[in-house]
Amino acid sequence: MKKILLFLSLGLIALCPQLTAQNVQHTFALGDSAFLLDGKPFQMISGEIHYPRVPREAWRQRMKMAKAMGLNTIGTYVFWNVHEPQKGQYDFKGNSNISEFVKIAQEEGLWVVLRPSPYVCAEWEFGGYPYWLQDEEGLIVRSKNPKYLEAYKKYILQVGKQLSPYLITHGGNILMVQIENEYGSYGSDKEYLAINEKLFREAGFDGILYTCDPAKDVEKGYLPGFLPAVNGTDNPGRVKSIVQKYHNNKGPFYVAEWYPAWFDWWGQTHHTVPAEKYMGRLDTLLGGGLSVNMYMFHGGTTRDFMNGANCYDSGFYEPQISSYDYDAPLDEAGNATDKFMKFRQVIQKHLPANQPLPDVPAAKPSIILPTIHFIETVNLTSMLPKPVHTEMPQTFEALHQPYGFVLYRTKQAGGVNGTLSIKELRDYGIVFVNGKRIGVLDRRLKQDSIVIDLPAGEATIDILVENMGRINFGPNLLKNNKGITTSVSLNGKVLKGWDMYSLPFQHIDDIKFAKTASSTDQPVLKRAYFNLTETGDTYLDMRNWGKGSVWINGHNLGRYWSIGPQQTLYVPVEWLKKGKNEVVVLELLKPQEELSSLSKPVLNERK
């Protein structure tokens, strides 16, 4: 009988994963001036970590580092385009297993503040929205538009299935959940915010919900009756006055995004802020009884093609780099920095005397790889898939392609020279005539035209266009199509008859390499192997290369670009192995025959 009961119990647990989140039942509530955990005042000292920016195998190590700095809570967004990359296709596995991330936090004794939004900003592609929303005719994000709400509802119900079992109301460790994200910086429709609440409740988020906005935008972004958190302000008096104004003269007082540093974009200086500049402010904030979420505690890396871009108006475009080091307390590889140690000292002052902090784990070892020599190469133009043919060039979205590259090809009568112009190029284009590279066009620099010379006879014009990242903030969220979005003209005449070759590079397993020399004009992929007797974190040194992406053992490490400021690509120890390892480089401009590595990153070197 005992064996039967045990078998039935195990079966129930397998069938009901929410039961695994059930531990000691806790309560979490809003007091007049502080959060109340199990009826007692609780000062939330939280740090933001984004699960897609950290290898799954390293999540627990990052959690242990959070505890060692004195954090009691982890904040994270939930990324719609990670979990529904194509319409109706959901992914909560592997590095996208957000419930496992929350569960590990619980096992490490950490609470979680969840931010499913579903708009996240986060210097992330399209602010977290999936690209395919732009395929839905008439759909308007962050609005009461029926098509948007229909897609939003289907998604948030899926998120609720994954995460509602981990709410504190169900015995889990998610203390509270944020609806929308800095909405006051975008709009002021309270009916839209109320719809957000309704959808979250329907998805099973039955605990405390809150909004967050910069101080100047709280009035537009808060939802009456909800706790309004304040971003970017750490003066206790100001935070308290803002929250009390919109929350019936009560608290708690929560700074949902406190910035100890900032992010970077291509071609600009790496942002760093000395710890000393923020130690006193953190001390004052905690001493004033405020709760805080540090954005970021650990940034990690924006891999694949998931970086976003700044574009507050039509006058500039600034795609963000792959490193999301952020000059955060925990560096890109998960090691403690000087800022970590000094913030730890401040936090320790505000903890009970009988609550010592764990020892800070030693820095992870780093290694230098043996020099890698490439002997296998394939030109991009020799691996083109079957094209789509239309009279006018089509966007990435029309081709149902989220990220990567599209090669646009047209054949035109030659014997002509003049100016080739691309209207609304998004974002980076390399122009070829009969296979010879003529030059590049760069949206960042407002370069959209180039002088070309077509030889006599039929001439082939190729334009390789890279999606450098969709805008993640501001009104231009609604202007996020990629590729050649309007037309191409030569001396004012619109060119027609286009073949479009999709090159998303979602996988590289089926690429056929050969032992051939590199072309100096054509973009190429190069492959090599290297052997390791020991593993460790390392940083690929891309300073001799031009522009492209790198894969290690099938993992896309992100983009590199010689203009900087990032000159290295972080390789996590978790993705290396003893024995044989594979590296593939996609180089657009300047292929090399060798690749070396460093034991430390280079994040502030511009060319």
- Active site residue ranges: 182, 257
CA-closest candidate to residue 323, choices 514, 602, 1? 602
Q: In the block, which residue shows the tokens 């390892």?
A: 581
What's the token pair of residue 421?
């112009």
Residue 58, C-beta contacts closer than 8 angstroms, at least 6 positions apart: 334, 572, 574
Beta strands in 191-310 (DSSP E): 208-214, 227-231, 254-258, 291-298, 309-310
Cα 462–465–468 angle (5° rounding)? 165
The side-by-side arrangement of strands in the sheet containing 376-379 is 376-379, 524-532, 579-587, 547-552, 555-561
**End-to-end distance of the chain based on CA atoms, in angstroms?**
74
What's the token pair of residue 338?
């000087």
The conformational region for residue 592 under phi > 0 = left, psi -120 to 50 = alpha, else beta, is beta
Estimate the share of the chain in helix, then strand, then coil, as percent rounded to the nearest 5: 25, 30, 40
Residue 7, C-beta contacts closer than 8 angstroms, at least 6 positions apart: none
Residues facing residue 585 across a β-bridge: 526, 550
CB 332 within 8 A of CB 324: yes
Q: In the block, which residue shows the tokens 């030693």?
A: 362
Helix (H) or strand (E) holding 157: helix 146-163
d(CA 40, CA 377): 64
Instruction: Indicate the DSSP class of residue 574.
Output: G
CA-closest candidate to residue 333, choices 295, 299, 307, 360? 299
Q: In the block, which residue shows the tokens 């054509």?
A: 522
The conformational region for residue 334 under phi > 0 = left, psi -120 to 50 = alpha, else beta, is left
CA-closest candidate to residue 132, choices 390, 474, 480, 556? 480
d(CA 30, CA 42): 10
Q: Are strands 416-426 and 428-433 parallel, antiparallel or unpaired?
A: unpaired
CB 594 within 8 A of CB 360: no
Instruction: Indicate the DSSP class of residue 262.
Output: -
What's the token pair of residue 279?
């130690």
What's the token pair of residue 24?
């000691």
CA-closest candidate to residue 89, choices 150, 18, 151? 151
d(CA 375, CA 107): 46
What's the token pair of residue 433?
């005539």
d(CA 107, CA 127): 30
